[in-house]
Amino acid sequence: MNVFQAHPIATAVLVLIAGLIGRFITTLYRQRRTFKDLPSPPLDPIWGHLKIMGKYSDLCPRGAHPHLYGHFIQKEYNLGPAFYLSSWPFGADALVIQDPELAQQVTTQLVLPKHETLKDVIYALSGENNMLTLEGAEWKRWRSIFNPGFSAANLMTLVPGIVDSAAVFADVLDRHAQKGDVFPLEEAATKVTVDIIGKVVLDHSFNSQESKNELVEAFLSQVRWTPSLLPANPLDPLNPMRPFMQRYNKWRMDRYLNRLLDERFASRAGAQSRKPRKKTVIDLALQSYLDPSEADERTREGPSEETPQHMDPTFRSYALDQLKLFVFAGHDTTSSTICYALHLLSTHPACLAAIRAEHDSVFGPDLSQTAALIKSSPHLLNALPYTLAVIREVLRLYPPASSVRRGLPGVYLQDPKTGEKYPTDGFLVWVHALGMHRSPDLWGPDAQAFKPERFLLENAASVPKDAWRPFEKGPRNCIGQELALLEARVILVMTVRRFDVRAAYESLGGRKEGKRETPEGLKKWVEEGLVYDVWADEAYQQLRATAKPAEGMPVRVVRRTHGSKEQRT
């Protein structure tokens, strides 16, 4: 009997290990060969581009969002409008797009499907039927069911609820101003945006700004238990508690939202009169679902003869997932935008003066009238070009999200200027918004500067075509963009004349990275204005589900006693 016959289990294990090693080596060889003729930084035969990404992770401050690495790597290796990065075996290999025309091919002409990595994140937060990751006819159907509720015209009818939530946010700031304390602005901004989603989608007050709310608590816990979208920490997904906590949080969220859906359905079925009432996103979605031919009909009020007595289970299950998606997609991105807007205005006094002057001229100097004025004349919000330009410029410099798509066999992108072709098969195609938004080639030598004026109508010609894409473009663009721009306007109008808001990063004495000087590796480009000086920016973007202000943006708020008449609501 030879040694293999004597130890059959050990032999089988050895064969298995040898097979796995053989497979790993073959895949590694094939993988590295794929990159041979592709534009990319130098490829290490073992580590791929992981070392290069590691280098930039070290060159950036703590927890910096990986979209910064792409920005710096392009400069370091003088890469063109698109390049490839290998994170294998820890993450997907990526084709990084930093050019508006190529980006348009991805999202508008070819409309590549969403990438699987997105599913890992979004399924945990909102379930498998969520609109962000659905594809094909199923996506089209649910997008069209939910579109009417997010239309600009419908949102205008919901402005009073948005104003009420914004007024509570202003009161929260006022309380902090009275205390004179330092607090995380991101938390306050998150709560107001969650409250606004509740109002707009369900006509429900989560009231999370004033008290603890079960759904919001479960949701925020779910965000904490969700592995990162980008490979910042490859060990994240291995935490053994993760599946249990995710299941528990999902159960809590579904229970809460099911209750609300039942209430909303009952109030719809029980409505006696045909007198107009405001239509939330869920009302209009249910209307579209039950009668698609009337999807855009805003005049139909009250139940028809055929109003069903029980909510259709298909609608319920898809609606539940969309509701969770709206809470996620609607709060995270908009809250960062509000934080950065208040921060950038405070560090750019001329812009702050200009936005305050615009608000005075539209709403008058008596701040106590602002809320009532917006409620009675919501269209005044459309007369704020400078405020809108501020929000657009904030989203240019600090885009909170971007799109990741799945490449397909035989599908290439083609640079119209050079004719160069970029294969997409097997790659995560990353439309790198930050890279485009901060490119001096596209925006000029002042690309890193905060200049809202560039988005005023008279300067429209100097805005590079398709280079501003915080909400992405094409059919899969953001369904909530009108809402985000609307609520940001309301919140700015209700706060910038009442308060001075100042970042208070100095209060975080223990901030780990300590020194804030730009490292040598980045200095050369920073000095030429080619890249963003992330080290000089204390509020740089960190990766937490999306790109969020560092350390939750600690701030101090001071009441303004001069200028516009002080507001007492």
Which stretches of the chain bind ligand HEM, using CB under 6 A? 114, 131-132, 143, 197, 325-326, 329-330, 333-334, 337, 395, 400-403, 470-472, 476, 478-480, 483-484
Residue nearest to ligand HEM (CB): 480
First-to-last alpha carbon distance for the chain, in angstroms, is 92
Minimum CB separation of residue 433 from ligand HEM in Å reads 7
Cβ proximity to ligand HEM: between 87 and 337 the closer is 337
Cβ proximity to ligand HEM: between 430 and 499 the closer is 430
Cβ proximity to ligand HEM: between 292 and 521 the closer is 292
Cβ proximity to ligand HEM: between 117 and 518 the closer is 117
Minimum CB separation of residue 329 from ligand HEM in Å reads 3
Minimum CB separation of residue 498 from ligand HEM in Å reads 23
Cβ proximity to ligand HEM: between 359 and 476 the closer is 476
Minimum CB separation of residue 273 from ligand HEM in Å reads 30
Minimum CB separation of residue 215 from ligand HEM in Å reads 15
Cβ proximity to ligand HEM: between 476 and 556 the closer is 476
User: Of how many residues is the chain composed?
Assistant: 569
Q: Which residues pair with 413 in a beta bridge?
A: 422
User: Following DSSP, what letter does each residue of 475-491 receive, concatenated?
Assistant: TTS-TTHHHHHHHHHHH
- Residue 61 in tokens: 């401050």
Cβ proximity to ligand HEM: between 112 and 218 the closer is 112
The number of helix segments (H) and strand segments (E) in the chain equals 21, 11
Phi then psi for residue 519, to 5 deg, are: -65, 155
Cβ proximity to ligand HEM: between 333 and 567 the closer is 333
One-letter amino acid of 138: E
22/30 Cα distance (integer angstroms): 12
- Residue 382 in tokens: 């459309």
Minimum CB separation of residue 450 from ligand HEM in Å reads 17
Cβ proximity to ligand HEM: between 182 and 325 the closer is 325
Minimum CB separation of residue 145 from ligand HEM in Å reads 11
136 backbone φψ class: left, alpha, beta (φ>0; ψ -120 to 50):
left
Contact 158, 198 (CB under 8 A): no
Minimum CB separation of residue 143 from ligand HEM in Å reads 5
- Residue 123 in tokens: 């399924």
Minimum CB separation of residue 43 from ligand HEM in Å reads 28
Cβ proximity to ligand HEM: between 136 and 240 the closer is 136
Cβ proximity to ligand HEM: between 396 and 498 the closer is 396
202/282 Cα distance (integer angstroms): 6
Q: Decide: helix, strand or coil at residue 406.
A: strand
Minimum CB separation of residue 403 from ligand HEM in Å reads 3
One-letter amino acid of 54: G
- Residue 233's H or E segment, with its range, is none
Phi then psi for residue 29, to 5 deg, are: -60, -50
How far, in whole angstroms, is CA 291 from its chain's centroid? Answer: 32
Q: Considering only CA atoms, which of 258, 247, 299, 309 is closest in space to residue 275?
A: 299
162/159 Cα distance (integer angstroms): 5
Contact 552, 184 (CB under 8 A): yes
Q: Decide: helix, strand or coil at residue 421.
A: strand
Minimum CB separation of residue 490 from ligand HEM in Å reads 13
Q: Decide: helix, strand or coil at residue 318.
A: helix
User: Following DSSP, what letter does each residue of 29-97 receive, concatenated?
Assistant: HHHHHHTTTS--SPPBTTTBTHHHHHHHHHHSPTTB-THHHHHHHHHHTT--SEEEE--TTTS--EEEE
Taking only Cα atoms into account, the Rg of the chain, rounded to an integer number of angstroms, comes to 25
CA-CA distances (angstroms) from residue 498 to 61, 121, 334, 559?
33, 38, 21, 6
Cβ proximity to ligand HEM: between 360 and 482 the closer is 482
Cβ proximity to ligand HEM: between 73 and 282 the closer is 282
